[in-house]
């Protein structure tokens, strides 16, 4: 090992964020293994070998280690107190004596072993840094570049790593054009043997939540809170919001001047409809609001079964239910109440029966 090698190691330590002491100690462990493999015949005490590498000039020394004892029972692993003191008067019983056994030809073997360790450590450090970088972005939005389509999957470039947007995470009907930029939600970051694996989505409700946080300063600042989101990606989303400041209108803040804030989000989601709902701690009021855009006359709830019956005008029934039941389905998911919708005439006839 020479000065240039040590300097190169220190540069790697600084550039890759590897612990210097960990790198050197790992190299020393590798050198012990290399010695045992290549020079076992040179010493009987092959199991008690220590390798020391000078952190400044790279000098390597191999030592056979022996324990200081009063009476020797195993000459391979033990040394008498008198013999130890002849080496250094400071030695006492039970101390470990290092006896240098460095082979003259050990440099070439050492260099190869050290090189392998350094390469492995660099790979591990880069994997760790990538994982740390992306794990900090878990549950957040990231902008990616579309690379290509492969058997229904979309390969996305996230900068220092590539990720797969699976079919279930793609917005139905959305066209993913090569080299186009898209916003994605990071669902999970896994630390695998092959490195960091980033799970991304365009359909997750978290994507809508983060988009609103980006577009609406009042949400980002905590004045307006998102209380819940229910979503059927590519079609419709309902988002319940609440203002902690009576002077700030939660729904108005989300819509923005001339509807620009919510329109920006709709554009990003390829014209997905978004219903902004005013949250209420009163179940009847919250359920009524959740069925927007339909106008609800009354809501009757059953706390025991957590079910509700919403009454609407006859001409509002289809709007309240929605196409293929979507509106009431999203409302039920948003409020976490089972919702049954009746028109006023249906309800009146039931009451009078």
Task: State which CATH number among 3.30.300.20, 3.40.390.10, 3.40.140.10, 3.40.50.970 fits the domain covering 204-279.
Answer: 3.30.300.20
Q: Is a pLDDT exceeding 60 seen at residue 1?
A: no
Q: How confident is the model at residue 22 (pLDDT cuts 50, 70, 90)?
A: confident
Q: Give residue-wise pLDDT tens across range 57-103.
A: 888 899 989 999 999 998 888 999 999 999 999 999 999 999 888 88
* CATH 3.10.450.50 is the classification of domain 282-353: no
Q: Which residue has the tokens 């050198």?
A: 31
* 210 pLDDT more than 90: yes
Overall fold of domain 140-201? OB fold (Dihydrolipoamide Acetyltransferase, E2P) (2.40.50)
* Banded model confidence at residue 16, pLDDT cuts 50, 70, 90: confident
pTM for the model stands at: 0.74
Question: Which of 187-196, 242-251, 274-283, 290-299 is predicted with the least confidence, judged by mean pLDDT?
Answer: 187-196
Q: Tell me, yes or no, if the two domains 204-279 and 282-353 fold the same way.
A: yes
Q: What is the mean pLDDT of residues 195-220?
A: 96
Least confident of 31-45, 207-221, 246-260, 336-350: 31-45
pLDDT at position 250, please? 98
Mean pLDDT of the chain: 92
Widest Cα–Cα separation across the chain: 113
């Amino acid at each position: 090992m020479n000065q240039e090698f040590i300097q190169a190691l220190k540069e790697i330590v600084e550039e890759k964020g590897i612990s210097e002491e960990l790198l050197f100690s790992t190299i020393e462990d590798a050198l012990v293994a290399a010695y045992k493999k290549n020079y076992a015949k040179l010493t009987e005490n092959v199991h008690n070998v220590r390798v020391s590498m000078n952190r400044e000039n790279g000098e390597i020394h191999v030592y056979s280690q022996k324990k200081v004892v009063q009476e020797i029972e195993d000459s391979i692993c033990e040394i008498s107190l008198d013999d130890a003191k002849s080496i250094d008067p400071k030695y006492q019983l039970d101390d470990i004596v290092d006896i240098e056994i460095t082979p003259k030809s050990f440099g070439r073997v050492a260099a190869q072993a050290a090189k392998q360790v350094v390469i492995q450590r660099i790979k591990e450090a880069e994997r760790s840094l990538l994982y740390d970088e992306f794990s900090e972005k878990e549950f957040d939005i990231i902008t990616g570049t579309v690379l290509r389509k492969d058997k229904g999957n979309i390969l996305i470039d996230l900068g220092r790593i590539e990720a797969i947007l699976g079919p279930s995470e793609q917005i139905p009907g959305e066209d993913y054009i090569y080299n186009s930029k898209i916003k994605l939600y990071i669902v999970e970051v896994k630390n695998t043997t092959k490195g960091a694996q980033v799970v991304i989505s365009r359909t997750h409700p978290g994507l809508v939540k983060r988009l609103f946080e980006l577009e609406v300063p009042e949400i980002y600042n905590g004045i307006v809170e998102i209380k819940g989101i229910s979503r059927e990606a590519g079609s419709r989303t309902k988002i319940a919001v609440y203002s902690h400041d009576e002077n700030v209108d939660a729904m108005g803040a989300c819509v923005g001047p001339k509807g620009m804030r919510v329109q920006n989000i709709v554009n990003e989601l390829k014209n997905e409809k978004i219903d902004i709902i005013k949250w209420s701690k009163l179940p009847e009021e919250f359920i009524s609001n959740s069925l927007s855009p339909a106008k609800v006359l009354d809501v009757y709830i059953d706390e025991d079964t957590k079910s509700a019956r919403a009454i609407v005008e006859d001409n509002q029934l289809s709007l309240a239910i929605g196409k293929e039941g979507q509106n009431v389905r999203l409302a039920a998911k948003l409020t976490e109440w089972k919702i049954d919708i009746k028109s006023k005439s249906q309800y009146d006839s039931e009451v009078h029966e």
